[in-house]
Amino acid sequence: MGRSLDEDPLTLAIAPPSDETPEQRAAREVAEAEAKRISDEIDELIRKEREQIRRTKKPVKLLLLGQSESGKTATLKNFQLTYARKEWSEERAAWRAVIFLNLVRNVNVIMAHFTSEMSDMPYDPNDSSEELHIVPRAPRALARLKFTDEHRELRERLVPLASLQQSLEGKLGSASLELHSTSVSVAAPFDATTNGHSHPHTQHHSPHRRGMQEFSINSSNGWKSALDRLRAFRHTSGAALSSSSSSRNDMTDTEAIGSGFTPTRDRDPEEDIAELLAECREDIKKLWEDNTIREVLNRRKVRLEDAPGFFINDADRIASREYQPTDDDVIRARLRTLGVQEYKFIFDHGRTMGQEWRLYDVGGTRSSRGAWYPYFDDVDAIIFLAPISPFDEKLAEDKRVNRLEDSYLLWRSVCSCKLLSRTQIILFLNKCDLLQAKLQRGVRIRDSVPSFGDRKNDLQTATKYFQQHFKEISRASSPVQRPFYVHLTSVIDTRSTAVTLGAVEESILREHLRRADLM
C-alpha cells in the first residue's frame, strides 16, 4: 500500500517502529529524555558563556571628580601603578621632562617673589605670579630684608630658567599651564542641566553652554597626549629646545637652551635640559636653603611644599644628568587636566584581572565643570576627591572663594544630581598628610571655619568633623538615600593608596556586576 501525500518524510523517519514492543518503547523514551537533558545542559552552558562574554566585554566606567588640585590625576595614576604595571613601566621614563618642568617652575616661583622683594614691591595676596614684578605696591609694613651681592649673583645665574620653563611648556602644550582666573562664578555650572531648573548665575551666560561642547575628550589634552607630544618633539630631526646657561662664560650648546639659540649638535634636547639643570643644581639648592629667601616666602605665605609638583626639595637628586623618575616622582608630577580625559586600562592583576576599566579624569577648575554632565550617564561609580588641607586657602582661579567651601558646594551638586541618584559615589577626603602638617604648625581651623568652634585642633578631630559635614550634605541632598562611602587619603602615598584602591576596586566591581544583571 502506498504512502499518503500528506505524510511528512521527517515525521516518518523519527516515528517509532509500528511493531515496537512496550519494553522497546520504555527504553526509547529513557534515551530520548537523556538526550534532551544533555541538550538542555549544553544550551545552558552556551547561555552562561554568552552572558560572561557580555559582562566581561562591558568595561567598568569610573569617573573622578573634584576641584582643581584635589588629587584626581594622582588617583588615576595610582590605579595604573597598582593594576596596570606593564603600561606604567613603559610610560614612567616619559615623565622625566614633566618633572624637570615642575622643578624649574618651583625655582621660578621663588625667583618671582625674590625679585619682587629686592625691587621693594610688597606682596599682595591677590596677585598672580606674573604681576609680582610689574605693578608697583603701597609702602611695606615690615622692614626691608637685607640682600647681598651673592643674592644678586644667584638671581642672575638662575634667570635663564624662566626661558627654559617657557620652552618646556611650549613642547608639552596647554596641559602644562595653570589657570589663574575664570569668568564662571558658580561651583557647579552643570546644576541647571542636572536639576531641571535654571541657576540665576548660569541662565544668561552662554560661555557655560559652550563649555558643554568645548570641554570634551580631546586628543590634544591629557597627560598621555602631552607625553606623546614631547616624544614626537624629541624625535624630530634637528629639533632642540631653546635655552641658555646664564652668564656662564662663552655660549655652549647647553647654554643655548635658555637664550633662544638652537644647539648645533644633534642630540636629544631632554639631555640638554638635564645638563643645564645639573649645572644649576648647586644654585637651586642655595636658593631653597637661603635663610633670607626663606623669610621672603614666609612673609608672603608661600608654601611650595603644599602645592602639587613640589620637587625643589629633591633638586640634588633630580637636577642630574643621570636622573630617571621613580614611581613616587611620577605620582607627584603635575600636569593640569583639561576638559574630560578618558584612560583605558586592562587590569593585569587583582580581582578584575583581564577586565577593561575606563577612567575619566576631569578638569577641576570652575570653567571646566560644565563638561562633566555628559559623562554622568552609564558610569558605574564616582570617586569624589575633596582636599581638606586647604580649609584656609582660596581657589587659584577665583581668589574670593574658599577651597573647602567650594568642595562643599560641588559635593552638594553631585549628590543632588538626579542622573546620579543610583550611582555609587565614593568620597576621598584627601591631603590628610598636608592637613596634619598644617595643624602641627599651629594653623587653627576655627579661624577659617567658624563652625569648627572650640574643638580640639588635631587631625583626628578635624577629619571626623569634615567627614560628618560631607555626610550630612549627602543625606540632605541625595534624591534617593545612598550608602556613604568615605576614605581618608593622601594619594601621593602610593602604599596606603594601593590598600584603599583594593577596597574600592571590590566595591565598584560589585556595583558593576549588579548593574550588568539589571540590563
- Complete DSSP assignment for 307-340: STT--GGGHHHHSSTT----HHHHHH------SE
171, 324, 157, 320: which is closest to 240 by C-alpha?
A: 171
Q: At what angle do helices 269-289 and 96-118 cross, to 10 degrees?
A: 40
* Spatial CB neighbours of 388, under 8 Å, sequence gap ≥ 6: 404, 429, 430, 431, 432, 435, 462, 463, 466
| 3-state SS, residue 84 | coil
Cα dihedral angle (112, 229, 322, 167), rounded to 10 degrees?
-30
Cβ-Cβ contacts under 8 Å for 425 (sequence gap 6 or more):
381, 382, 384, 414, 415, 474, 482, 485
Contacts of 251 by beta carbon, 8 Å cutoff, 6+ apart: 244, 245, 259, 261
Is 430 assigned a ligand-binding role in the annotation? yes
Closest-CA residue to 164 (of 253, 285, 273): 273
Was 417 annotated as part of a binding site? no
Strand partners, 63: 360, 382
Q: What b-and-e string marks burial along 343-354, b requiring 16 or more CB atoms within 10 Å of the CB?
A: bebebeebebee
Name the CA dihedral angle for 450, 453, 456, 457, rounded to a multiple of 10 degrees.
10
Pairing mode, if any, of strands 60-65 and 381-387?
Answer: parallel
d(CA 32, CA 3): 27
What is the C-alpha separation between 27 and 23, in angstroms, rounded? Answer: 6
Long-range CB contact pairs, 193-202, < 8 A, 24+: 193/373, 194/373, 194/376, 194/413, 194/416, 194/417, 194/418, 194/419, 195/416, 195/417, 195/418, 196/418
CA distances from residue 267 to 148, 263, 271, 281 in whole angstroms, order as listed: 39, 9, 8, 22
Q: Is 432 annotated as a binding residue?
A: yes
Torsion of CA 479, 485, 488, 494, to 10 degrees: -120
75 among the known binding-site residues?
no
Give the C-alpha separation, 248 to 70, whole Å.
Answer: 40
Tell me the residue length of the chain.
Answer: 519
Helix axes 459-477, 403-416, angle to 10 degrees: 30
Residue 415 annotated as binding? no
State the binding site for GTP: 430-433
State the binding site: 337, 430-433
